Chains A and B, each alone.
Chain A
């Protein structure tokens, strides 16, 4: 656990929220939500902001599906027979192929940042869910021994090198994918949230 230093360090409200949004995206995209999670998602209420409206759509989509349907949808979108409708990997979006240079670059940077893939995970590290999870950890300090987040400049560099250059297109594709029902508002949330992130990074530069 991230000990005393972490307790002394207070995460700002907006950084806590940023990390939460990334974790939400990571959780929704890592695997189809379980029944228990769906029940919670159905209760969400959004406000009249764009993100709030997307959250309301997500709640509606969660009401319109169940776990079996969701498993099928997830399978059709991301796994498929041979290949799903979408390949949610940075390397694929950037080069047209899996396991290409962008993945090697990411692995190098993860090494520097002290992050590595869990042994139990077979998927390459440039999967969108993994990248969202890494961003959350960089923002809230989960990957630092002292629990202190990495500086904003490092977050920005990581974002721009590994996420900002392709994930917005992925989320647009997800919104438009033939099988996307529950995942359509997930695509919207991802697209909107990353646009906010990109703009905010520009402001800090």
Chain B
């Protein structure tokens, strides 16, 4: 096995032991509960620059600060 493969296996094992699957929940389940945020955050293709994608984030701040 190459050093690279060994490292990648170590890394995989490490993530497992660190609990990023978090047993009962798992990242995917977490994301599912976060619901529609996920869709708002989907990067979309910019019509003006082919190949470029946009991130969408933090847009409600100013709205909230009107209180």
Contact = CB atoms under 8 A, between A and B. Distances in A.
A50 interface: yes
A165 interface: no
Contact of B59 (A14, A51, A121): A121
Interface string A16-33: 111111011011101111
Interface in B1-55: 7-8, 10-12, 14-16, 18-38, 41-44, 46, 49, 51-55
A34 interface: yes
B17 to A, nearest CB: 9
Contacts of A118: 44, 54-57
Contact of A20 (B8, B28, B51, B54): B28
A82 B14 CA distance: 43
B53 A121 contact: no
Nearest to B44: A118
A98 B7 CA distance: 38
A77 B41 CA distance: 22
Nearest to A41: B33
B22 A33 contact: no
B58 A24 contact: no
A29 B8 CA distance: 31
Interface in A50-87: 50-52, 55, 71, 74-75, 78-79
Given A114-B51, A121-B57, A129-B58, A52 B24 contact: yes
Nearest to B63: A31
A46 interface: yes
Contacts of B37: 27, 30-31, 33, 37
Contact of B53 (A24, A51, A115): A115
Contacts of B11: 14, 200, 203-204
A30 B55 CA distance: 12
Contacts of A30: 37, 41, 57-58, 60
Contacts of B26: 17, 20
A63 to B, nearest CB: 13
A47 B61 contact: no
5 tightest A-B CB contacts, nearest first? A47-B23, A49-B19, A40-B33, A20-B27, A27-B37
Interface of B: 7-8, 10-12, 14-16, 18-38, 41-44, 46, 49, 51-62, 64-65, 67
